[in-house]
Amino acid sequence: MSDDLLGIKTVLHPVSDLAAAKAVYTALLGIEPQTDSAYYVGYDVAGQHIGLVPAGGPQAMTGPVAYWHVTDLDARIAAVTAAGGGVKEPAHEVGPGRRVATVTDADGNALGLLQDT
Average pLDDT over residues 35-52: 95
pLDDT of residue 117: 87
pLDDT of residue 1: 56
Q: Which domain holds residue 16?
A: 5-116
Task: Please name which of 57, 47, 56 lies closest in space to residue 10, comparing C-alpha atoms.
Answer: 47
Tell me the C-alpha distance between 90 and 8, whole Å.
19
pLDDT in tens, 3-24: 788 999 999 999 999 999 999 9
Count structural domains, the chain: 1
Which domain CATH number covers 55?
Answer: 3.10.180.10
109, containing H or E segment? none
pLDDT of residue 58: 79
pLDDT of residue 23: 98
Task: Please name which of 51, 59, 58 lies closest in space to residue 13, comparing C-alpha atoms.
Answer: 51
For Cα atoms 9, 47, 36, give the angle at the middle one, nearest 5 degrees.
Answer: 85
pLDDT of residue 42: 97
pLDDT in tens, 45-102: 999 999 999 998 878 888 999 999 999 999 999 999 999 999 999 999 998 999 999 9
Cα–Cα distance list, 24 to 44, 87, 90, 97, 115 (Å): 15, 32, 31, 30, 29
